[in-house]
Structure 1
Amino acid sequence: MLTKLSIDNATAEAVIAAASERATAMGVPQNIAVVDEAGHLVAFRRMDGAKFFSIEIAITKAFAAAGTRKATRDIGPATQPGQPGFGAQALVGGRFTTLPGGIPLEAGGAVVGAVGVSSGSTAQDQEVAEAAAAYFSSRWGAGAPVADSQKD
C-alpha cells in the first residue's frame, strides 16, 4: 500500500489568497491555479481585470510544474532542440510550458501540488508564484512548525 500527501482544497485556497495578496500589492491582476501532485486542478481564481487569455496558461504552468517537479522557468533548457526534453509538449497533449510562473509545492519531502500564475509579465507572474510558494513552504513545507496534532 502506498500513502501519498496531496494538497487539499482549503490549503489550495490559502495559497491562492497569498498569491492574490501579492498581485494586489503589485497592482497586477492575475489568474492563479493550484493543482495536486498529479496535475489535477484543485482551486482557481481569476482576479478582476486578469486577462481571460491567461486562464489556461496559469493552469498549464501549474500542471507543468507538478509534472516535472521543477519550476517552469528552470525546465526550458532541457526542452530545446537536441536536448532530452525536446518535444515534451507534444507528448502531453500541448499541456506544457517553460514560461515562468509555475512552481511545485513540497511538503514531507514530496511534491504535493503546484501553483501557476499568469496575466502579467513573466517576471510579475514569477514573483506572484514565488510569494504563493513561500507562503505554502512557511506553513506546510520543510522546516514549517509542526502542529500539536501532528506531534508524537
Structure 2
Amino acid sequence: MDITLNQAEEVIKAAHVKAQELGIKIVAAVVESNGHIVEVKRMDGAPWGSIDVAINKAYTASAWGISTATIADECRPNGSLYSIHFSNNQRLITFGGGEPIYVRNKLIGALGISGGTADQDKECADAGVDALK
C-alpha cells in the first residue's frame, strides 16, 4: 500500500513546523512509491523554483529507496553512483532533502523538501518522515 493523502498531509505539516523553527520557507512534496505526486505544498514566501526541486527530491528518494543525502555522498567522482544524476531524464537530485518513507520495512513513498540549505532541507524531511513513526 502506498502513502495516503492523510499521511502525506501529516508528513508535510511536520516538515513545515520544523521549517518554521529553523526560520526558513520551504516547499514540501510527497510522492507514492512509484514516484507519482500525492501532494505538494509551498509555504508563503518560499521560492517558486523550489517546487520542481522538492518534487524531484521526493522522486529520487522513492526511485532508489534511499536518502538524497546518501546519494550525494556516493555521487562524488570515484563514488559508486558517480554520474547517476544523468539518468531518469535528469530528474535525480543529488543533495540532501529527499527521504524515503517506510512503514514496517515497506517503501510507501517519499518526501522532498526544498527552500533552505541542503542540511536544513534534510532536517525538515527527517521531521516529516518521523511524524509517521
**Aligning the two structures, in what range does the TM-score lie when normalised by the shorter sequence?**
over 0.9
1:96 aligns to what?
92
How far residue 23 of structure 1 moved from its aligned partner, in angstroms, is: 1.0
2:17 aligns to what?
21
* 2:126 aligned with 1:130: yes
State the TM-score, normalizing by the size of structure 1. 0.82
1:120 to 93, 97, 116: 116
Gaps of 5+ in 2: none
Q: Could you tell me how far apart the structure 1 residues matched to 2:119 and 2:82 are?
A: 24
With over 3 angstroms needed to count, the CA separation of the structure-2 counterparts of 1:25 and 1:83, relative to structure 1, is closer
Q: Could you tell me how far apart the structure 2 residues matched to 1:99 and 1:79 are?
A: 9
1:62 to 54, 58, 61: 58
Flag the structure with larger Rg.
Answer: 1
Task: Give the RMSD, CA atoms, in angstroms.
Answer: 1.3
2:72 to 70, 76, 80: 76
* Alpha-carbon displacement from aligned partner over 1:87-113 (angstroms, at most 9, x marks no partner): 322220011011101110001211100
1:37 aligns to what?
33
Is the 2:98–2:113 contact (alpha carbons within 8 Å) kept by the matching residues of 1? yes
For structure 1, which segment, 83-92 or 20-29, has the greater mean C-alpha deviation from structure 2 after superposition? 83-92
* Alpha-carbon displacement from aligned partner over 1:47-79 (angstroms, at most 9, x marks no partner): 001011111111111111111111100112333
With over 3 angstroms needed to count, the CA separation of the structure-2 counterparts of 1:17 and 1:86, relative to structure 1, is same
Gaps of 5+ in 1: 138-152
2:42 aligns to what?
46
Q: Structure 1 stretches (4+) deviating beyond 6 angstroms?
A: none
How far residue 29 of structure 1 moved from its aligned partner, in angstroms, is: 1.0
| Percent of pairs with identical residues | 34
Number of matched residues?
133
1:148 aligns to what?
none
1:85 aligns to what?
81
- 1:130 partner letter: D
Q: Could you tell me how far apart the structure 1 residues matched to 2:22 and 2:32 are?
A: 27
How far residue 82 of structure 1 moved from its aligned partner, in angstroms, is: 4.0
Higher relative contact order (CA 8 A, sep 6+): 2
Q: Could you tell me how far apart the structure 1 residues matched to 2:105 and 2:79 are?
A: 28
Q: Provide the secondary structure at the position in 2 that maps to 1:52.
A: coil
